[in-house]
Amino acid sequence: MNKVSSCAKLLSVLCLSALLAPSAFADAVKLRVGMPQPGKVPFFWQTDAGDYTGIYVDTLRSIAEELNVELEIIPLSQARLQRHFVAGEIDLEAGVNPKAEISALLEDFSLYTRPFGVVNEVFIYRPELSFPVFILKDLEGQRVATVRGSSVPEKILREDFTNQWQIAQRVHRGWNELGLMNEAPALHYQRAGNLNYQISLPYNSNPVVFRLHVSKSKLLEPMNNSISRLEEEGELERIVCKYLCGQSAALPDNDQ
């Protein structure tokens, strides 16, 4: 009887332990991540081997590993990504500006994590230019290479191109004297490609977050806690430096 009683007690303890086990030991939750196409170096892009890489991708993978979340990355155009998100076919979008204006319908399905980074807007310019191009009033009437569809400061004359890689190359080659782009790609292209241009101080800065579908609301607080820990441990800074410090990261094979 003692053996039977001991076995019963042991079984009860095991069952109770299973019920109280933390979620990290449960089956992994799956998150379908919408990745806008074409990619945007150094934030996110797909290599020739088919792997996804970049600052946003590495940050999300660090969070997913800590929370025991499985990621399925799904490449989509920006317009299709948002439609699939509203339909519940995409669970998460990375690198979202929470200040950006979006449709009321998309807002109804959106939750936002705490910021995990900042995107700075800068001007790149030919080294021989002498005026301080980071002062916007000095740019009035100047022709500036910009990405088609992007917002730009008032009173500049925009010349639209497909992407930021084109802008970096054009200013480097002297085809444009001024270009407007994100600071991270400007640094990445300058160092990885040894491009010859100067980079202004930021004229505008925006936080970036993860957009989470409301159906995954239980992940919001754990994700925020994970972002806080990664920031405190210096991991977010290390990920950024991986792509922006030195020349270790490759240039895009395509116009991204």
Question: What's the pLDDT score for residue 199?
Answer: 92
How does pLDDT run across 225-250, given as a tens digit for each residue?
Answer: 999 999 999 999 999 999 988 654 55
Res 131: pLDDT: 58
Residues ≥6 apart with Cβ < 8 Å to 175? none
Domains 27-117+206-244 and 120-205 share a fold: yes
Please tell us whether the domain made up of 120-205 is placed in CATH 1.10.472.50.
Answer: no
Fold classified for 27-117+206-244 = D-Maltodextrin-Binding Protein; domain 2 (3.40.190)
| Element (DSSP H or E) covering residue 106 | helix 104-108
3-42 tens-digit pLDDT: 444 444 444 443 443 333 344 435 678 999 999 888 888 9
Q: How far apart are the C-alpha atoms of 90 and 212, rounded to whole Å?
A: 9
Which of 161, 155, 209, 157 has the alpha carbon at shortest distance from 181? 161
Domain boundaries, the chain: 27-117+206-244, 120-205
Does 221 score more than 80 pLDDT?
yes
pTM of full prediction above 0.85: no
d(CA 249, CA 195): 14
pLDDT score at 99? 87
